[in-house]
Amino acid sequence: MSKNTARLCGYLLAEHFGNFVEKVGLVLLNRGRSSLREIDQKAKISLRLVRESLFVLLQHNLVTFWEHTEGSRLVPYYQLEVQNVLMLDRYPTYIKVVMDQYGEEAADIVAETLRQGRINMEHIKQWKGWSDNPKEAEMYPVKQAISELIDNRFMTIVSFLDAHSRNDRHMADTKEAFAKAGLNPNASDKKKINIQLADKWQEEDGDYVEAQTGEKRKRAMVVKDFEGNKRHAGDANDVFAAGNSYRVNFERFHIYLRTDDVAKFAAQRINPAAGAIMKNFLRRAEDRPALCKTQTETEFVRSVKPPDDVELLVEGDAGANRLLEYMEWLADGSEGFLKKKGELYCCPIRDVVTRLKQQVIESIIVERFSEDHKRIWRILLMKEKLDEKQVAKFAMVPIKEARRCLFDLHNAGFAFIQDVPRTADHATTKTFFLFYICIRTTSHQLVESGYRTLANLKQRRAKEIFARKLLLEKSERTDVVDGEGSLSVGELRQLDILGEVIKRLRSSEMRMDRMMLIFRDY
């Protein structure tokens, strides 16, 4: 856990849940997995507040626990889910996605679910102000919205497994399986156990799972044609069964946002029609994977539904099928948005996301340095490892300028050096220094830098609000709100300035978080 990550998590917990939850969260961040007694000793607040803070964090899926046997007792140990904490600022984006897709009723339900962590029908009745036995016509819009969200996996029914981390479940299953196998299982038994565990984890996660044997196994599905391609969500009565609670599925939102970003990328590189085709192509496969980062490519299909609102423009003789020509263009182009196998097509998502990261890195390089730095970075990306003389030759710039750009990129973490010694003593004068690009390492460094920037933005926003605390309290007084009291012209101007500063800071936070989404969660 880096210092910047812990600092940002502290600001997020304090902003969304208050100081007591922040103290408990920071204890879990600094100490790692801890028992209730250890948290109570380090948090320096009452045991009641520690319990309430843990309840809040568990309710919002920010903490998981696992029970360990200590003597004759089962002691629960709590662990903070850092990735879920870092997604707290992304809630407005999730609500906007649901608003655009399913309307205001569904967006209100998702917003309330994010506010409470999880909801059930009893909470919805209280939230809506219904009676104990509301009419079916009154409940129909809410049930319809929840059904649509669950059918499309934007929400899911809470399971008892959600309180345990995936690693804990997998370790417990592995330990139990090998205990049942007896002493000293041979290689064949181990392979069978790993395959059985992989099948079980597929059923739990609904995703591609790689067993320890290295074999990838895929969950069997019943797939209809494109127009009716939906995951079977079960009977509606099961969804609204007594005792069911619902939570938001963040991974599904990440898959949806990734599709939008890839479509925009295709529209920017080719034309709007290509972007619309890529969006339709990826939308039909969105209900397959459960985890955004584990999907490497979509399944092969023959064609997709053509876009309704975009004309497929083709120069010259368009032939009989413009859509097919576009798909061949997307497959044969240098960007590689699609991959062709016979007459079937798939999208190599991992490669496309890498190119998307490359585009963001290039924009950062131009903003921080210059176009010459971007050109040299691209040359290194295409040619792989080059020394400074070769870089100067390919970039057609003086060697001193090439050296300056290379060391600027190296110091900022956009380029790296590998030394190739010609002698055993590694003498500097007899060593080649080759520059190369590693997008994965650069992405990790940009994520770490993004954590620091986000924490600084939140600190600045808190400082601006604290500096005008008395003015804000005065503006919220009852007599001022009712119109009996008034603020001076200078005070009104200060409030306008504060509002503008807060707006700009929040806008910067959202842009930074969207960049973090690309580098960390895609």
Going by CATH, does the domain composed of 363-437 fall within 1.10.10.10? yes
Q: Is the pLDDT of residue 220 over 60?
A: no
Query: Residue 17 — pLDDT band, cuts 50, 70, 90?
Result: very high
| Residue 22: pLDDT over 80 | yes
Sort 190 into a burial class: Cβ within 10 Å, 0-12 / 13-18 / 19+: middle
- Average pLDDT over every residue of 315-335: 73
CB 185 within 8 A of CB 178: yes
Same fold, 88-153+231-248 and 251-347: yes
- In tens, the pLDDT along 169-202 reads 777 777 777 777 776 777 777 777 777 777 776 6
Q: Which two tokens stand for residue 211?
A: 């067993």
Rounded to whole angstroms, the Cα distance separating 82 from 98 reads 25
Rounded distance, CA 92 to CA 95, Å? 5
Backbone angles phi, psi at 213, to 5 degrees: -75, -10
According to DSSP, residue 294 is labeled T
| Domain ranges within the chain, ordered by starting residue | 3-83, 88-153+231-248, 161-217, 251-347, 363-437, 442-521
Where helices occur in 103-165 by DSSP H, the ranges are 104-116, 121-128, 136-151
Residue by residue, DSSP assigns 50-73 as: HHHHHHHHHHTT-EEEEEEEETTE
Q: Could you tell me which residues come within 8 angstroms of residue 179 by beta carbon, excluding any fewer than 6 positions away?
A: none
The answer to whether domain 88-153+231-248 has CATH 1.10.20 is no
CA distance 54 to 58: 6
pLDDT in tens, 364-416: 999 999 999 999 999 999 998 998 899 999 999 999 999 999 999 999 999 99
The count of other CB atoms within 10 Å of the CB of residue 288 is 19
Length of the chain measured in residues: 522
Q: CB 251: neighbour CB atoms within 10 A?
A: 19
CATH number of 251-347: 1.10.10
May I ask the CATH architecture of the domain 3-83? Orthogonal Bundle (1.10)
Helix and strand numbers (H, E) in the chain are: 23, 12
pLDDT band with cut points at 50, 70 and 90 for residue 74: confident
What does the pLDDT read at residue 225? 34
Q: Which of the four pLDDT bands, split at 50, 70 and 90, describes residue 316?
A: low
Residue pair 517/257 in contact (Cβ under 8 Å)? The answer is yes
Cα distance from N-terminal residue to C-terminal residue, the chain: 21
Residue 315: the pLDDT is 61
Given a cut of 90, whether residue 290 has pLDDT beyond it is no
Pairwise CA distance, residues 220 & 325, whole Å: 32
CB of 383 within 8 A of CB of 395? no
Q: Which amino acid is at 394?
A: F
CA atoms within 13 A on the CB side of 444: 4
pLDDT per position as a tens digit, 418-456 = 888 888 877 877 888 899 999 999 999 999 999 999 999
* Helix (H/G/I), strand (E/B), else coil: 421: strand
Which amino acid would we find at residue 498? L
